[in-house]
Amino acid sequence: MLALKEKILKEGQVIDGHILKVDAFLNHQIDPELMHEIGKEFATHFSGRDLTKIVTLESSGIAPAVFAGLILGIPVVFARKQKPLTLTEVITETVYSYTKQTSNTIMVSKNWLKPTDRVLIIDDFLARGEASLGLIRLVEKAGAHVEGLGIVIEKSFQDGRAKLDALNLDIYSLARIASLKDNKVSFVGEKEEVKIGG
């Protein structure tokens, strides 16, 4: 997706040659116009699948998921990382966070994910695949069916994609990064490397 790639090049920052910081537009400050375009892209790719729910993980996946849900006309359920007092009967799964170096229990209410649901999972990043795999397990624990996986930014030089490909799901990544070496970003299928960030 060209608009997303341009945004990464313009406003992203590479840290230590392997972390891409995109808090200018995705996971801290949010660019609503870009999220709308991302939502349209996911909705177009996954249309015609009789989807009933989108599932994502708080908090960075919520914005792209909501815009996709708006266009597809289906609800969005986000897995929580902390259990509020109002949440009683839950489905849980443990997920390891690469960026935070911790394990988290994620959860959804049994009220909002049923065996009859056909689910699109949307995630902000795919690196080692732990968050996406955790969401897949969560959906499967509810007895629901995963129809596909939409990824905003994929770090293709890490092993997450290979883990997910083994599941034979439709995985649609909007920006696939081949390398962040020497603080230069290169996208899969493109030869030119461009230095970004400071």
How far is 160 from 194, CA to CA, in rounded Å?
A: 24
- Strand 76-79 vs strand 53-57: parallel, antiparallel, or unpaired? parallel
pLDDT at res. 196: 55
Q: What residues does each domain of the chain span?
A: 2-181
Res 197 pLDDT > 80: no
For residue range 127-152, what is the model confidence (pLDDT) as tens digits? Answer: 999 999 999 999 999 999 999 999 99
Alpha helices per DSSP H over 60-190: 62-72, 130-141, 160-165
How far is 61 from 105, CA to CA, in rounded Å?
A: 17
pLDDT at res. 171: 97
For residue range 17-51, what is the model confidence (pLDDT) as tens digits? Answer: 889 999 999 999 999 999 999 999 999 999 999 99
For residue range 46-77, what is the model confidence (pLDDT) as tens digits? Answer: 999 999 999 999 989 999 999 999 999 999 99
CATH architecture for residues 2-181: 3-Layer(aba) Sandwich (3.40)
What residues are paired with 109 via a beta bridge?
A: 90
Alpha helices per DSSP H over 97-194: 130-141, 160-165
The whole-model pTM stands at 0.92
pLDDT at res. 100: 74
pLDDT at res. 87: 83
Mean pLDDT of 4-24: 95
Confirm if 139 and 118 have CB atoms less than 8 A apart: no
Mean pLDDT score of the chain: 93
Q: CA 126, 128, 131, 135 torsion: positive or negative?
A: positive
**Torsion of Cα atoms, 120 then 122 then 92 then 76, to 10°:** -70
Structure tokens, 89? 């009967």
